[in-house]
Amino acid sequence: MPPHDPIDLSVRLASIVGAAHVSTDDESLERLSFDAIDPGRLMARASAVASRVTAVVRPATTDEVSGVVRLANELGLPVIPYGGGTGVMGAVIPLSGGIAVDLRRMDRVLEVRAADRLAVVQPGVVLADLDAAAKAYGLQMAHDPWSVPIATVGGAISTDSVGYRASKYGSMGEQVVAYEAVLGDGEVVRTKPLARQSSGPMLGRLLSGAEGTMAIITEATVRLFAEPEAREFATVGFESFEAGYPVVVRLFDLGLIPALIDLTEEEPGDDAQGFRCLLYLGFEGYREEVEAQRVRSLVEATAAGGVDIGPRATLHYWDTRHAVAERWRDSTRPLRPTERWANRRWRTADYLHVSLPVSRVIEYKRFADDVAAGHGLQIRETAVWTDPRLFSVYIVDPSADLDADGETGKAPALWGAVNELLAGALRMGGGVEYCHGLGTKLAGWADHEWGDALLLARRLKGAVDPNGILNPGKLGL
């Protein structure tokens, strides 16, 4: 990044958004340089914790966002859009400094088109607030990640976030039908909320999962859904993940796709009745459909050796699915990033979310067990979540001994295991992250996952961001 007079930069930004909405104090720069990532999970990229933006700007309109981007082009400064700060992959880390564009002032639900099942919202709207606005019309926002109480619409789109009910409704990116966005040269573009585009590339999806590298979203038209007439839950116990997995595949083959489906193997909890592997099932829709899905799912599961243990465990799962976000909001978010990091919770653990062909999931699970054992690690949890092709693993190094700075003379065993697990997923025809985006943590894997498609992505990036100022260093772009 070329050197700039911070006072002059502040003055020029203030001329766009007002002096009250520009910050250059140390605390603001630190807070807006990071999401919820922990340095331990950055692993070999942990040096990125030294990164800081040069200024924070809080626009209130699309025109102000455009003005900031045009100024950044003139000065050759990177621009990093910032939403709720709840990402867990370091997507907002300013690897080359620059200006953080904090979009949380743009927090209005502009319109609910109830008859069309659409909402027009600004990017800083918190997901829970959009859902509340929809409920006033008997509708719901169907995107339901753990972070509903704290994440913003813009951030969820930019990571193409997956939520608990993605099996029925799709990821956040799949629920967006139109955008207004500021390109890398400051131009404003709008796509139309058409029910069906007649031809051409589907530009309405271009920004989903783009992590702010292609444009800054300033407005989104999002699908809403009628609140379900009925909702029911069921839980099935299995002796192992391998025993339960064919049931998940069978349900999807039948076209019986629950709103909530999660097959998890871990140490049994209080509601597990001694089973190490539980299949959590939730059904919603019209009453007869829900009852039929519940009954048939239990028939398929018990025929395969599963045991119906009642809805209690899944009800608890459902009722507490946002508790982590609520705790983070109340106790962790008020802390500065460096204060949060003092806990260093993730220096000896990591969680991976890989996509795989159905034919390779069991093989990959066994591969993961072998990798962990070979490095002296423990796998505390494995799961498929929302789709039989989406596999998650939580891996722990109980013996890692990092010094006060979180470094060792060599890469910890955990780092080597994570790299082996990611490489193994690619080797088996899968991808390295289905849930949270690549961010800074996994940006180096983009070329391995994308292959030749990365050339096309880079050409698109050059077209919409000719000076390369939008969140540089991410997605292999």
pLDDT of 3 reads 59
Specify if 43 maps to a domain: yes
pLDDT of 198 reads 86
Q: 183 and 145 in one domain?
A: yes
Q: Which residue has the tokens 């990044």?
A: 1
Last residue of one domain, picked from the residues 63, 86, 105: 105
Give the whole-angstrom CA distance, residue 392 versus residue 352. Answer: 6
Give the whole-angstrom CA distance, residue 239 versus residue 268. Answer: 11
Q: 192 and 135 in one domain?
A: yes
Class of residue 428 by CB neighbours under 10 A (exposed 0-12, middle 13-18, buried 19+): middle
Specify if 469 maps to a domain: no
CATH assignment of the domain containing 47: 3.30.43.10
Specify if 328 maps to a domain: no
For 424, residues 6+ apart whose C-beta sits below 8 A from its C-beta are: 364, 367, 368, 371
Asked if 70 contacts 186 with a C-beta cutoff of 8 angstroms, the reply is yes
Q: 235 and 218 in one domain?
A: no
Q: 273 and 186 in one domain?
A: no
Q: 51 and 120 in one domain?
A: no
pLDDT of 199 reads 84
For 77, residues 6+ apart whose C-beta sits below 8 A from its C-beta are: 1, 2, 4, 9, 54, 71, 97, 98, 99, 469
Specify if 477 maps to a domain: no
DSSP string, 102-130: E-TT---EEEEEGGGTEEEE-TT-BHHHH
Asked if 216 contacts 69 with a C-beta cutoff of 8 angstroms, the reply is yes
Q: 163 and 131 in one domain?
A: yes
Give the whole-angstrom CA distance, residue 376 versus residue 385. Answer: 26
Give the whole-angstrom CA distance, residue 263 versus residue 203. Answer: 34
Q: 116 and 221 in one domain?
A: yes
Q: Among candidates 393, 396, 378, which has minimal Cα distance to 432?
A: 393
Q: 369 and 294 in one domain?
A: no
Q: What is the pLDDT along the chain (477 residues), one digit of tens a residue?
A: 455 677 789 999 999 999 999 999 999 999 999 999 988 899 889 899 999 999 999 999 999 999 999 999 999 999 999 999 999 999 999 999 999 999 999 999 999 999 999 999 999 999 999 999 999 999 999 999 999 999 999 999 999 999 999 999 999 999 999 999 999 999 999 999 988 888 888 877 889 999 999 999 999 999 999 999 999 999 999 999 999 999 999 999 999 999 999 999 998 888 888 999 999 999 999 999 999 999 999 999 999 999 999 999 999 999 999 999 999 999 989 999 999 988 766 678 999 999 999 999 999 999 999 999 999 999 999 999 999 999 999 999 888 654 434 444 345 889 999 999 999 999 999 999 999 999 999 999 999 999 999 999 999 999 999 999 999 999 988
Q: 196 and 160 in one domain?
A: yes
Q: 366 and 457 in one domain?
A: yes
**Residue 37 dihedral angles phi and psi, to the nearest 5°:** -65, 150
**What letter would DSSP give residue 95?**
B
pLDDT of 346 reads 65
Phi-psi region of 18 (alpha: psi -120 to 50; beta: other; left: phi over 0): left
Give how many domains the chain has, as a whole number.
Answer: 4
Specify if 475 maps to a domain: no
Specify if 333 maps to a domain: no
Q: 122 and 57 in one domain?
A: no
pLDDT of 404 reads 39
pLDDT of 401 reads 54
Specify if 83 maps to a domain: yes
Last residue of one domain, picked from the residues 226, 248, 263: 226
Q: 426 and 346 in one domain?
A: yes
CATH assignment of the domain containing 182: 3.30.465.10
Last residue of one domain, picked from the residues 72, 105, 138: 105
pLDDT of 4 reads 67
Give the whole-angstrom CA distance, residue 52 versus residue 473. Answer: 14
Domain range for 271 is 230-319
CATH assignment of the domain containing 244: 3.30.70.3450
Specify if 324 maps to a domain: no
Give the whole-angstrom CA distance, residue 164 versus residue 84. Answer: 19
Q: Which residue has the tokens 């007649």?
A: 198
For 222, residues 6+ apart whose C-beta sits below 8 A from its C-beta are: 118, 119, 120, 121, 130, 141, 153, 175, 176, 177
